[in-house]
A and B are shown apart, each in its own frame.
Chain A
Amino acid sequence: MAIAKPVGDDSAVVVRVRNLKKSFDGAHVLKDISLDLRQNENLVILGRSGSGKSVLIKCMVGLILADGGEIELLGYKVRALTPAKLNAMRQQIGFSFQSSALYDSMTVQENLEFPLKRNLALFNKNELNELVMTALQDVGLEDAAQKRPAELSGGMKKRIGIARTLILKPKIILYDEPTAGLDPITSMEINELILTVRKKYNTSAIIITHDISCARQTSDSIVALVNGQIRVEAKFDELKNTNDPELAPFFKY
């Protein structure tokens, strides 16, 4: 069992994963994963495609049921939650999807209003507008409110996806490949946005990526996942000179 971070000040831990296991049709995707995320920390999970990164964060929010182990988010033991408590927990977690997953039948404004209406039963037009505009300003897209997702570029979709996670003021944000498919300049802007969001909203984040510049720019620490197992946990500077044959190629390109 590899514990990615030694347990020190327990009160600051917002995500605790212990011995997490998941397999699909006999293929072991996650093997005994243990890690901690602390308050206000940005933890990058670095790994190649198919290493189990996305499955890990989907297990954390209960989108995929783990086969074994424990997951604790903000004190909620995810695997033992009733549907109502799972919903309550999810409202405190932001999840930014790789594909952005914007609701394509709605405008950007409606996308952002949706969680407010559903979770907070907020229907006052002025209040909704104010909250939506604040979230859009945070991601620098206040002019996009009336656009539909199909009219947005990849980078804009990512930003709107992040704005939608911010609208409920989450305590933890899980970013799934935030820079995948973006050009280097837009990727850099998204990385800066991730840092700005942490500063403004005081969030903790787990960032799933295989993009080494994203890892360098956004991480406080990095957990390297290889074939469903944690290979190493370190700071970026400690990791960049690694001799590990699975990890060294990340730093060459």
Chain B
Amino acid sequence: MKLRSLLLTYEGIYRFAQKIFRQLLFASSEWREILRQCYAAGNRSFFLVGFTAFLAGIVFTRQSRPSLSSFGAESWLPSLVSQAVVRSLGPLITGLICAGKIGSNIGAELSSMKVTEQIDAMEVSGTRPFSFLVVSRVVATTLMLPILVVFADSIALMGSYVTVHAINNTGFRLYFNEVSSKITYLDIFSSIIKATFFGFAIGFVSCYVGYNSENGTAGVGKAANKAVVISMSFIFIIDLISLQFLNLFR
């Protein structure tokens, strides 16, 4: 019985994904809702992503400095921080924050619409709720994550610069010359692609658990919780896979 239920869940996920990809072809007709969702997703996470990235930049710089100093390699600090931020820290922080902020919101919103029959009401009036509610949100998170990652990377590097400047009085131009000399196009490109996958995973998982939630109001909390936990797990899995893949090119 458990195996049957597991197989049914996998089938449900497969069909959900199939429906999204099929309807993505017509996603342009949902541009109004996509824009609204992009704004909501960006607006919801913008401040927190920036604030956390700034703090992460400071903390990472302060923690790395003593180790590098002990080898007399303090001048490597900008390149070390920039590589860590662009390759991993920026996308990871943004992904995790967005999983919490956007994922929980989507999961709870759709789940609450489901239990109060609002999705059924859209279905029976022929208004194609799947494309309106799910496709628009998945597209929005997929588009917004890379933008938020670029923003987070920039703010984290600013945090790092402020720290380095406060300790060594290093100039802005010198610091960012060091940063840009060590960052490759592959780093930037891979970071953006990875963020796109993070965004898709957050949108897909949150919409799936919200749209298929059950058990009344208790299901709403459960859906929000599942959306965050599963999205976060996917972020780490995608990060690990992308690291393995990118190592082939480095």
Contact = CB atoms under 8 A, between A and B. Distances in A.
B93 to A, nearest CB: 29
A168 B122 CA distance: 13
B233 interface: no
Q: How large is the interface on A (under 10, 10 to 19, 20 to 34, 35 or more residues)?
A: 20 to 34
Interface string A60-96: 0101000000000000000000000011111101110
A7 interface: no
A119 B123 CA distance: 12
Q: How large is the interface on B (under 10, 10 to 19, 20 to 34, 35 or more residues)?
A: 10 to 19
Interface string A93-132: 1110101011111000000001100110000000000000
Contacts, number: 58
Interface of B is mostly: helix
A97 B117 contact: yes
B26 to A, nearest CB: 12
Contacts of A58: 120
B127 A63 contact: no
B180 to A, nearest CB: 44
A119 B118 contact: no
B167 to A, nearest CB: 48
B116 interface: yes
A3 to B, nearest CB: 26
A217 B96 CA distance: 57
A90 B125 contact: yes
B44 interface: no
A165 B126 CA distance: 11
Contacts of B234: none
B118 A102 contact: yes
A61 B117 CA distance: 14
Nearest to A93: B124
Given A103-B121, A118-B126, A168-B125, 14 more contacts: A61-B123, A87-B126, A89-B126, A91-B125, A91-B126, A99-B116, A99-B117, A101-B116, A102-B121, A103-B113, A103-B118, A104-B116, A118-B125, A118-B127
